Structure 1
């Protein structure tokens, strides 16, 4: 069996390529639209990818094509459209192939789906009964490569222990979630906490929520420092929060001002530091962040990531901040996301502990420590997330 992918600007073009190479006995396995590569591809019309197969051992049309391929000139060599046997009857061939799509595509997709799951389990046998569990992980937007590993590990536990597969799967998921580590402020010394992350993920609002919790609810002495002077709006936003909460705010225009700013807050229990969003591969910003960390001697660093971030986006962020000595994951905008798979994806990619998650814009209400059991229930669709209820 020969299987090959064909790409065209539309279905007709892809089908022509199939008919020219495989003949009329080709079977369509799958069709989908794909984005063109590169940044410019985001603004161009999607291409059509068709996966086709033919059994070259029994297909008469495939054998005929292979026997006579060298005898046929291509269109560049002057073959007219009326001489080309596939151009002339292209509509008929296309109709035949489209009929095949409608009759077998669904079946083949299911078979391919099962094979793909098996390929990701390190050789372990995956029974059809496990496929709904895998699909549930995918629907939660857990990346398929990670979902396959989760299923594979659950299968291994299921094979050696007398447990229901659902329990095995939950056990693996809890291990992937890990033990969240919220902020702990000791009684005998000041804690310095820095917020780092891409532009637009909600660092400043998240910092304000933490400041409100610890100043109002926990009755701690809180100080604020912002090094995000690239955006006037960011400084103004934090200044407004500081005035409302009656918390002192220091503004840094250079990392070298960090020591002086910290001295202004030497009587505080906790100091929260806001930073500018870093662009990918911006070496200057990277050096500035490293200098801020070094000069502040930060006790804890939160890498802030939006729950709307795609898997490729998560990988880019993780790579972008790979220079960080250590950090915890802080997730925002779960109320704007349809699922919570990004949390699992980033946790898997980094191995770093989870901390907090924000569920809306309200300060200080819409923030909570990540609850593994609650997160597990959302993945398993046992309960509807509160933020989805509110949004609906």
Structure 2
């Protein structure tokens, strides 16, 4: 009798491995969620473990329950019975050690409903609840539950890159139309000039939108920063040469329809992606998750480093942003929450993203 454990990020993935190794006649003995990997006991990821068995010398046909086929002789019957006894014994041992599943307490159910109502995907809600159940005694007070949820959400995201310190000379912002790239660029440049004492310059490739160059020149004039306009790669390289005396160069790109794949090709024909630079994808927190996902996929061929989320002041939830970051394993550098330049922008961490997601929890219902 051959017994083997199979692991996967999900049950379908683990079952695919079972079918690949053992075929359709594999016997599933048990399945459970386990912690795997990590470093010094930290950062372990949840995986699905399936224990399956197969006897290469015995072919078990699948029969209809109402018409069982008797075994042809006593010898075969004894052999198969021995296998069944062995599998039953192994299954009993595994089930003895398997963690018991418990129904959610009313407070944990309330937490689950809160996060689901905010838009957090069910898989992340369940991972959070499992982590809380594994690490903590039953919680009763809402403030205590909120604090614990923030801590565990932080753990779920802390492997992702957050925040930013400028160490590269060129800074690129990409994203669809209407997300506030130019204003965000001005906020970053304003902080560099007014709070850090650096010199900055701008290059814009946004020659499609009416008034785009003039908008950037207005910000640049306030900061006393030079602006270069690039229509093609030669213009772009000349602009870089003209700005070689400044500390940071911020590159604004056109906001085009993100469903238009030729836009990415246009960017690659203007911008030199071989240079050492910071590359940010700018997304609005007011966008639907499916749109965020599509935008990311369309820009994923570019060397994206982190996300900048805009328009926090226009939405009440961070759930779709958290869904995207956890799924794409891409962290966030900044969040903007207004139109004031350079004030309405903040660096972010896993902890304050988690706090933002849980912000309204204790406001709902009694404690």
Bucket of the pairwise TM-score, normalised by the shorter protein: 0.5 to 0.7
Q: Kindly provide the CA deviation profile for residues 359-380 of structure 1, in whole angstroms up to 9, marking residues without a partner as x.
A: 1001111111114443333322
1:127 to 104, 110, 122: 104
Q: Once the 2 structures are TM-superposed, how far is the Cα of residue 341 of structure 1 from its aligned partner?
A: 1.6
Residue in structure 2 matched with residue 231 of structure 1 by the alignment? 209
Residue in structure 2 matched with residue 176 of structure 1 by the alignment? 156
The 1-side partners of 2:200 and 2:347 are apart by 20
Q: Once the 2 structures are TM-superposed, how far is the Cα of residue 207 of structure 1 from its aligned partner?
A: 0.2
Task: Tell me, yes or no, if the aligned pair for 1:301 and 1:326 is still in contact at 8 Å.
Answer: yes
Instruction: Name the SS of the counterpart of 2:272 in structure 1.
Output: helix
Task: Tell me, yes or no, if the aligned pair for 2:231 and 2:270 is still in contact at 8 Å.
Answer: no
1:350 aligns with 2:324: no
Task: Tell me, yes or no, if the aligned pair for 1:124 and 1:152 is still in contact at 8 Å.
Answer: no
Q: Kindly provide the CA deviation profile for residues 2-48 of structure 1, in whole angstroms up to 9, marking residues without a partner as x.
A: xxxxxxxxxxxxxxxxxxxxxxxxxxxxxxxxxxxxxxxxxxxxxxx
1:341 aligns with 2:322: no
Task: Tell me, yes or no, if the aligned pair for 1:258 and 1:295 is still in contact at 8 Å.
Answer: no
Instruction: Name the SS of the counterpart of 1:193 in structure 2.
Output: strand
Matches within 5 A, 1:90-169: 125-129=102-106, 130-158=108-136, 169=149
Per the alignment, do residues 384 and 132 of structure 1 end up closer, same or farther by CA in structure 2, a change over 3 Å counting? closer
1:381 to 359, 362, 367: 359
1:260 aligns with 2:241: no
The 2-side partners of 1:318 and 1:154 are apart by 31
Residue in structure 2 matched with residue 388 of structure 1 by the alignment? none
2:253 to 248, 270, 275: 275
Q: Once the 2 structures are TM-superposed, how far is the Cα of residue 293 of structure 1 from its aligned partner?
A: 4.6
Task: Tell me, yes or no, if the aligned pair for 1:176 and 1:347 is still in contact at 8 Å.
Answer: no
- Structure 1: segments with no counterpart, 5+ residues: 1-121, 386-392
Q: Once the 2 structures are TM-superposed, how far is the Cα of residue 216 of structure 1 from its aligned partner?
A: 1.6
Q: Once the 2 structures are TM-superposed, how far is the Cα of residue 317 of structure 1 from its aligned partner?
A: 1.4
Per the alignment, do residues 228 and 296 of structure 1 end up closer, same or farther by CA in structure 2, a change over 3 Å counting? farther
Q: Once the 2 structures are TM-superposed, how far is the Cα of residue 158 of structure 1 from its aligned partner?
A: 4.4
Per the alignment, do residues 265 and 147 of structure 1 end up closer, same or farther by CA in structure 2, a change over 3 Å counting? same
Matches within 5 A, 1:1-392: 125-129=102-106, 130-158=108-136, 169-178=149-158, 181-186=162-167, 191-295=169-273, 297-381=275-359
Equivalent residues, number: 258
The 1-side partners of 2:336 and 2:150 are apart by 24
Task: Tell me, yes or no, if the aligned pair for 2:150 and 2:355 is still in contact at 8 Å.
Answer: no
Per the alignment, do residues 229 and 298 of structure 1 end up closer, same or farther by CA in structure 2, a change over 3 Å counting? farther
Per the alignment, do residues 168 and 182 of structure 1 end up closer, same or farther by CA in structure 2, a change over 3 Å counting? closer
Instruction: Name the SS of the counterpart of 1:338 in structure 2.
Output: coil
- Give the stretch that moved more between structures: 281-290 or 355-364: 281-290
Task: Tell me, yes or no, if the aligned pair for 1:154 and 1:165 is still in contact at 8 Å.
Answer: no
Task: Tell me, yes or no, if the aligned pair for 1:194 and 1:298 is still in contact at 8 Å.
Answer: no
The 2-side partners of 1:212 and 1:296 are apart by 27
- Give the stretch that moved more between structures: 301-310 or 250-259: 250-259
The 1-side partners of 2:355 and 2:135 are apart by 20
Q: Once the 2 structures are TM-superposed, how far is the Cα of residue 217 of structure 1 from its aligned partner?
A: 1.3
Task: Tell me, yes or no, if the aligned pair for 1:255 and 1:295 is still in contact at 8 Å.
Answer: no
Instruction: Name the SS of the counterpart of 2:307 in structure 1.
Output: strand
CA RMSD of aligned residues (A): 2.9
The 2-side partners of 1:383 and 1:167 are apart by 10
Q: Kindly provide the CA deviation profile for residues 197-236 of structure 1, in whole angstroms up to 9, marking residues without a partner as x.
A: 1110000000000011101211101010111111022211
- Give the stretch that moved more between structures: 294-303 or 212-221: 294-303
Higher helix share: 1
Q: Once the 2 structures are TM-superposed, how far is the Cα of residue 352 of structure 1 from its aligned partner?
A: 1.2
Q: Kindly provide the CA deviation profile for residues 137-162 of structure 1, in whole angstroms up to 9, marking residues without a partner as x.
A: 12333233433333344434448xxx
The 1-side partners of 2:251 and 2:244 are apart by 14
Q: Once the 2 structures are TM-superposed, how far is the Cα of residue 127 of structure 1 from its aligned partner?
A: 1.5
